[in-house]
Amino acid sequence: MATERTLSIIKPDGLEKDLIGTIIERFEEADLQPVAMRMTRLSEREAEGFYEVHKGEPFFDELIEFMTRGPVIVMVLEGKNAIERNRMIMGATDPAEADEGTIRSDFANDVGENIVHGSDSPENAEKEIRYFFSDTDIYERNVE
């Protein structure tokens, strides 16, 4: 299993529900280490750019409104097989279909407001990390 990096976002509903610590704890317990992190509030333009692939979907406007309604935490998680393992810890997009014990099953309201984002492929991880972070924002962990 290769060490990978993936982009994680705690969405506005995650902050509204005071889940920052709980969510990061789940990643740390799974040896997905944050190597970059910040709180930001997405502009409409930033949210639309980030979710460009969903432009034209019926839920697009609702998604942009949701993602811009309050601050988010954007972070880079690093670990073995990080992209797939983060998606496992998150659970399915629709919390009603998410496995028990996943973040979305435990905390999400519905398919739109589902607490977390996670990159779904190495290509998208690379692109999404670049969208928010430059090399100097990303730190080596476990070094003296």
Active site residues: 117
- Secondary structure letter of residue 22 according to DSSP: H
Give CA–CA dist 39/67, Å, rounded: 13
Q: Does 63 bind ligand ADP (CB under 6 A)?
A: yes
Give CA–CA dist 22/26, Å, rounded: 6
Tokens of 7: 């982009």
Count of residues of this chain found to bind Mg ion when the rule CB under 5 A is applied? 1
Interface with ligand ADP by CB under 6 A: which range of 15-23, 40-48, 56-64, 127-135?
56-64
Residues ≥6 apart with Cβ < 8 Å to 101: none
What character string, x for contact with Mg ion (CB under 5 A) and - otherwise, covers 103-132? -----------------x------------
Between 19 and 135, CB nearer to ligand ADP:
19
Give CA–CA dist 17/19, Å, rounded: 6
Q: Which residues bind ligand ADP (CB under 6 A)?
A: 54, 59, 62-63, 93, 111-112, 114, 117, 120
